[in-house]
Amino acid sequence: MIDNPFYSHEFHGDYDLISIGELGLEEGGAIPDCQLAVATFGTLNEAKDNAILIPTWYSGTHQIWRDVYIGPDHALNPEKYFIVSVNQIGSGLSTSPHNADEANASIAMSKFPHVTIGDNVVAQERLLREHFGIDRLALVVGGSMGAQQTYEWAVRFPDKVLRAAPIAGTAQNTPGDYLIAEAMREATVSDPGWNGGEYSSNADVLGGLTRQAHIWAVVGFSTEFWKQEVWRALEFDSKEAFLAGFLEPYFTAMDPNDLLTQSWAWQRGDVARHTGGDLAAALGRITAKMFVMPIDEDQLFPVRDCKPEQQLVPGSELRVINDVLGHLGLFGVAPTYMPQIDQHLGELLATEV
């Protein structure tokens, strides 16, 4: 167990650690005591029909949703809805390689088992049912890996998901995306400090995490972001200063094993696992009213990868978000980003289902 101060209430505010017990895993093995870090906003009504679930993305936690997406002036309004953000397994807040306590000692660090998008969704469903008594969700919404989990929810538990909004993510990960995540993985584990996953501090892997940050710089933003020097709006004087002041500290604060647990799941996200590889059959199962929301400048999940999936979801709509930041537009930096998100999510939540 490594003490990494980034994964704490100091940096992430209020959340509860809730055990859902042992979690058997799709790829074999189990998490002996699966603890999920859960942040809630608003109040569950008596009918228990005002719940919204937000699964988290790679490297992200509930924090960005709390700070950017949730509020009385947003579609994700805690005065109307009971919003539950569940940090994914391996997020560093929920059970993760670096924080394995006594109960999970057998899966600490390099011994952590492979966790899938499906495992996360199964864990979330158990949490919502057993801990909150929630059987149906007014909305599942997530970005990137959160979109993967959103699709997984809608396919795996169609009766439980009334509405769904995958933002900047796919139902079936593309090979190009797999290779991007692989290059990030290699950038990290090639650091001699990685030591087969048995480092003593994430600082041992500083070089590898920095290189991963630099690959994110390339694929996470659009080429136009760099060309138009959009980072100037964030008060940086050069692209190097932006890297050093934004992306590098973001990733180097994190735990390498945790990140790799997430990217392993990201690489293999695929709802067609439920239908013997038949993507159309899997997406055809969806009964939720779905808005598919790719970002136009996204290099990781371009519109042309998202649109064919959307067309396989009955009754769904394609709602493209315009943001020159590309995939990392998800951070909500552009002032034009959240108004688009709010408009679409507001419309979706207002749809009778």
Among 190, 201, 311, 343, binds a second copy (CB under 8 A): 190
Whether 238 is a known active-site residue: answer no
Using an 8 Å Cβ cutoff, are 317 and 291 in contact? Answer: yes
Stretch that binds a second copy, among 16-24, 49-57, 96-104, 183-191 (CB under 8 A): 183-191
Gap between the Cα atoms of 172 and 122, Å rounded: 18
Rounded-to-10 torsion of CA 89, 178, 58, 254: 90
Which candidate in 270, 298, 305, 323 is catalytic?
298
Task: Kindly give, in sequence order, each residue whose CB lies less than 8 Å from that of residue 225, ignoring residues fewer than 6 positions away.
Answer: 231, 297, 324, 325, 326
CB of 305 to a second copy, least distance (A): 7
74 catalytic? Reply is no
Annotation says 327 is catalytic: yes
Most distant CA pair in the chain: distance in Å?
55
Q: By CB under 8 A, is residue 9 in contact with a second copy?
A: no
Integer CA distances (angstroms), 131 to 17, 27, 317, in order: 12, 25, 33
236 binds a second copy (CB under 8 A): no
Instruction: Please classify residue 335 by burial: count the beta carbons closer than 10 Å to its beta carbon, then call 0-12 exposed, 13-18 middle and 19+ buried.
Output: exposed
Which 263-322 residues touch a second copy, going by CB under 8 A?
299, 302, 304-305
Site string for a second copy, 131-170 (x = CB under 8 A): ----------------------------------------
Smallest distance, a second copy to C-beta of residue 25, A: 24
Q: Tell me how far apart the terminal alpha carbons of the chain are, to the nearest angstrom.
A: 46
Using CB under 8 A as the criterion, which residues of the chain lie in contact with a second copy when the complex forms? 174-177, 179-180, 182-183, 186-187, 190-192, 207-208, 211, 214-215, 217-219, 221-227, 229, 239, 299, 302, 304-305
Which residues carry out catalysis?
144, 298, 327
